Amino acid sequence: MSKYKIEFKLKQHTPLIHFQAEQFGATLRASELKPKLDKFLIEQLQLSHQYDEKAEHKPKQFFINEEKEALDYKVRIDVKSTQWDEIPTSTGNNNKIPAFFANMGLDYSENKKYLCVSNDPIKVTIHSFHTELINLISLDLLQTFFQQTNFGTRQSKGFGNFSIIGQPLVENYYDVSFDISPRNFPFSERGMPDDFNAWETYFKVFTGIDFFYRSLRSGINRKGRNGDVFYIKPAIFYYSMKVLDKQWDKKSIKEVYYPSELEKQIDRNSNPDILTYPDNDETHIMIKDVFGLSSTESWREPYKSELTKSHDSIDRFQSPLLFKPYEVSKGKYKVYIKSTPIPSEFLGETFKIKFGSKEGLKLKTPDRFLWSDFWSFYFSKDFPVLNERCDTSIDGYARTTEYRTLKRIQDSIRVIKNQNT
């Protein structure tokens, strides 16, 4: 291997969401990879434009120029072939790709997106005339970069996941893991035949991730023609109630804007949100959005209105949970989750909550939130088992795709480590 370059091969575990997937060789783009890798290397190697006598490395010359935070190397990506498929516009349960919502816009037909994947190894070459910089970029360091980075659209939900072939996965980087295979889904119980459709495999992987994420953040409330089909309260509801002793935001919103519907819900459900908290700012919090700020939400019947959350200086907070699905054998995946700390600027902040034309409610995010506390509770005896979180009064709830998928995820989930995040 030349002293001026590093070569390695990537395995693609999940599809990229791509704008130009139908073009030959469309895959991971150097224009996306390099800026992310630059930022990672600058942080990990503590590189700086400034000359520092005490620094281990004197890397001022590694940068392209004084102004740009770009390192002086080039990236080339070579792929033999790719497969692609248009993301369908249908919202039917059998067609919509889970955990992906950008295709629902009115301008989708003019900005179509595609799922793109390479089944062959992808060759990556990093070239630089700065041999000292090349020597600093080890394969172990690059694997760490790929372990914490996805690419393309909807990255946090597991799309665009790659790993370096031949480099071991450092499991203890992640917090939680669970397994997904065809057995996780009630409509495919017979294993993985040789001619199994790869796109169906991906659909199932993202369905499992979608169900699990919603079971953490918002809950699942699926209705059919004859009423409720499946209902589960989210983990963050129980964390808010049992650990923080606070009333979560959904009940506060219903109390202020739709009290009559809240009473109907309490009468109808077998495990309603029945605890009553004093009507003050200290006991009511905006907790769901520690999973990422959802500034606009569309609520279905009977509300049929749009909920908005506004703040003078905060308009975006991306999901702090990163899902990394790795194919461990044909059609079988292990999904890892990395939880990044909540920015202090987001904690203890008051948001205005507006529901359609109704306004007046204000809710504050928690003053303190650590993922280590949340996961400790999730794996403790205080966290209710799956049946206790579901509405068991719904006939056939245990036969639904949601329940059986969550049950099998629950059977395989494990905590990897508890860290102060």
> Are 115 and 18 found together in one domain?
yes
Question: What's the domain range around 143?
Answer: 5-166
**Number of domains observed in the structure of the chain:** 2
User: Looking at residue 189, what is its pLDDT?
Assistant: 37
**Tens digits of per-residue pLDDT, 2-26?**
789 999 999 999 998 876 645 545 6
> Are 188 and 317 found together in one domain?
yes
> Are 132 and 220 found together in one domain?
no
Out of 107, 136, 166, a domain closes at 166
The answer on pLDDT for 92 being more than 60 is no
Sequence-distant (6+) residues with CB within 8 A of 400 are 222, 229, 230
Domain-embedded: residue 171: no
Nearest one of 323, 326, 325, 328 to 338, comparing CA atoms: 323
> Are 346 and 371 found together in one domain?
yes
Domain-embedded: residue 420: no
CB-count burial class (<10 Å; 0-12, 13-18, 19+) for 346: middle
Least confident of 45-54, 169-178, 339-348, 397-406: 45-54
The answer on pLDDT for 72 being more than 70 is yes
Going 366 to 367 to 371 to 376, the CA torsion angle's sign is: negative
Domain-embedded: residue 173: no
> Are 139 and 116 found together in one domain?
yes
The arithmetic mean of pLDDT across residues 82-89, rounded, is 70
Domain-embedded: residue 371: yes
Q: Could you tell me whether strands 414-415 and 122-127 are parallel, antiparallel, or unpaired per DSSP bridges?
A: unpaired
Out of 113, 132, 166, a domain closes at 166
Helix (H) or strand (E) holding 179: strand 176-180
Share the mean pLDDT of the chain: 83
> Are 347 and 222 found together in one domain?
yes
**Tens digits of per-residue pLDDT, 326-383?**
999 887 899 999 999 999 999 999 999 999 899 999 999 999 999 999 999 999 999 9
Residue 6 identity: I
DSSP state of 217: H
**Tens digits of per-residue pLDDT, 147-160?**
999 998 888 999 99
- In this prediction, residue 259 has a pLDDT band, given cuts at 50, 70 and 90, of confident
Helix (H) or strand (E) holding 125: strand 122-127
Task: Please answer whether residues 335 and 178 qualify as being in contact, where contact means their C-beta atoms are separated by less than 8 angstroms.
Answer: yes
Cβ-based neighbour number of residue 144 at 10 Å: 17
89 or 288: which leads in pLDDT: 288
Domain-embedded: residue 172: no
CATH code of the domain covering residue 143? 3.30.70
Least confident of 108-112, 131-135, 218-222, 338-342: 108-112
User: Looking at residue 282, what is its pLDDT?
Assistant: 72
Domain-embedded: residue 174: no
> Are 135 and 187 found together in one domain?
no
Helix (H) or strand (E) holding 122: strand 122-127
User: In sequence order, what DSSP letters do the residues of 40-106 get, joined into one string?
Assistant: HHHHHTT--SS--TTSS---GGGBSSSS---BS-EEEEE-S--EEEEPP---STTTSPTT--GGGST
Reduced to 3 states, what is the DSSP secondary structure of residue 203?
A: helix
- Nearest-angstrom CA–CA distance, 95 and 256: 37
Rg, the chain, Cα only:
23
Least confident of 104-113, 158-167, 401-410: 104-113
- In this prediction, residue 200 has a pLDDT band, given cuts at 50, 70 and 90, of confident
Domain-embedded: residue 286: yes
Sequence-distant (6+) residues with CB within 8 A of 170 are 143, 144, 147
Nearest one of 410, 383, 414 to 398, comparing CA atoms: 410
- Nearest-angstrom CA–CA distance, 251 and 273: 7
> Are 152 and 201 found together in one domain?
no
> Are 161 and 212 found together in one domain?
no
> Are 310 and 400 found together in one domain?
yes
pTM for this structure? 0.88
Q: Could you tell me whether strands 83-86 and 220-224 are parallel, antiparallel, or unpaired per DSSP bridges?
A: unpaired
> Are 270 and 374 found together in one domain?
yes
User: Looking at residue 99, what is its pLDDT?
Assistant: 55
Length in residues, the chain: 421
The arithmetic mean of pLDDT across residues 392-418, rounded, is 89
195 or 18: which leads in pLDDT: 18
- Nearest-angstrom CA–CA distance, 107 and 89: 11
Residue 180 sits at φ, ψ, to 5 deg, of -135, 130
- Nearest-angstrom CA–CA distance, 90 and 109: 12
The arithmetic mean of pLDDT across residues 120-145, rounded, is 94
Helix (H) or strand (E) holding 117: strand 114-117
Out of 144, 166, 188, a domain closes at 166
Domain-embedded: residue 219: yes
**Tens digits of per-residue pLDDT, 285-305?**
999 999 999 888 888 878 888
> Are 75 and 48 found together in one domain?
yes
